[in-house]
Chains A and B, each alone.
Chain A
């Protein structure tokens, strides 16, 4: 087995830019969708909750690859949107991550003790104000560890986007294997690359978590 593929390694590593685009885009969109959903599921009325529950059930229950194909080949063209594979992937990842993140935030919001809200109201805050100024700051901190996990999941799921041809790490690895005829080492290299990126990202989140930590506050305990 010749090691002729080594010259292609930088080409594979370059894919990290697209991978990050997918991951960061997906996480960010997921956050913008997930947090409101969580608030709606905790504080909303019955109709609102039902609609949101259906959204969550759908985007968590359907496999990512089915969603990608459904939107890229089906829904977006049908409504006249001509979006690139990258953009579609980010949107689908975002919709899906939003569903998962909503459950993270919901759990975090629910674990902020009732006493906090009551205290906020007793000094005259409205429900909305108590949510924004008292509940969310605590809930978001509680959610960080689970959110870090979501990053790790999203990073691995981004590899699935190779099926739409997005030029991220796995797509490039596949091209390299096909053109060099060497399969094992390039794929292992890609795998290790994903592990490094997961580790690095998790470390960053942990540093942020430590920085934001409220001294003496044990998450979820009252």
Chain B
């Protein structure tokens, strides 16, 4: 019974650490995704190339590699990020790059007439993008975005490799002291399942709320 008395509070602190990570990385990745996706559709040649390069690199590198580069690799250049910030940056870059593809596709799927009508009203390109295109594109990209954010909840477990004291690292440490892997990792699995299920349901509600009503 002593195990549980010690494990559960420790696990709780791990959950808090995970949430702290996600609370910043999730919105940041969406912002980055929108930025990259928009720039890749509307930007000038130089900006487009830079954005494309970012997306290719951070979609192509495994997340583990990205995290290791940010934490250990940058140290070669005397840039020392804390585990927390390296993790946040890593998730933002990786998640944002994946999301930018959904957003880019969604923007391109908006019919041209919307853009022409905005111009005819005297809107500048920026106004057109912010008030007409993005509100519609983001709705269309929402399933993809929510999918990526759910992945982020699960992949947050990788933050342990650069020393963030989140859920998985706590469980791992506990297991190496108490040698009860089935209990420890099963509980952990259940916590992750609960988190992903809640987030999934949350996004489904959001999608319903944001849906544009039609007669069908």
Assess A/B contact in the complex (Cβ within 8 A): yes
Verify B182–A57 contact, CB threshold 8 A.
no
- A49 within 8 Å of B by Cβ? no
CA distance A64 to B196 in the complex (A): 14
Whether A70 contacts B158 in the complex (CB less than 8 A), given A160-B64, A170-B62, comes out as no
Chain A: number of interface residues, binned into ranges: 35 or more
- A8 within 8 Å of B by Cβ? no
Interface string of A185-215 (1 = CB under 8 A from B): 1011011001100100000000000000000
Interface hit among B85-93, B185-193, B202-210 = B185-193
Verify B66–A191 contact, CB threshold 8 A.
yes
Verify A188–B69 contact, CB threshold 8 A.
yes
Using A73-B185, A159-B62, A195-B60 as known contacts, list a sample of 9 further A-B pairs with CB atoms less than 8 Å apart, ordered by residue number in A.
Answer: A58-B189, A61-B196, A63-B154, A65-B157, A66-B171, A70-B188, A174-B68, A183-B68, A188-B69
Interface string of B166-199 (1 = CB under 8 A from A): 0010011001000001101110110011001100
CA distance A77 to B188 in the complex (A): 19
Verify A65–B62 contact, CB threshold 8 A.
no
Verify B157–A61 contact, CB threshold 8 A.
no
CA distance A57 to B192 in the complex (A): 11
Closest Cβ–Cβ distance, residue B121 to chain A (whole Å): 37
Verify B76–A74 contact, CB threshold 8 A.
no
Secondary structure class of chain A's binding surface, majority of residues:
helix
Q: Contact residues of B with A, CB < 8 Å?
A: 56-57, 60-66, 68-69, 72-77, 154-158, 160-161, 168, 171-172, 175, 181-182, 184-186, 188-189, 192-193, 196-197
Secondary structure class of chain B's binding surface, majority of residues:
helix
Residue from B57, B175, B182, B184 within 8 A of A78 (CB atoms): B182
Whether A66 contacts B62 in the complex (CB less than 8 A), given A184-B76, A184-B77, comes out as no
- A222 within 8 Å of B by Cβ? no
Q: Which of chain B's residues has its CB closest to A183's CB? A: B72
Whether A184 contacts B73 in the complex (CB less than 8 A), given A70-B181, A74-B181, A194-B60, comes out as yes
- A126 within 8 Å of B by Cβ? no
Cβ–Cβ < 8 Å partners of B192 in chain A: 61-63, 66
Among B73, B155, B188, find the residue whose CB has the most chain A CB atoms closer than 10 A: B73
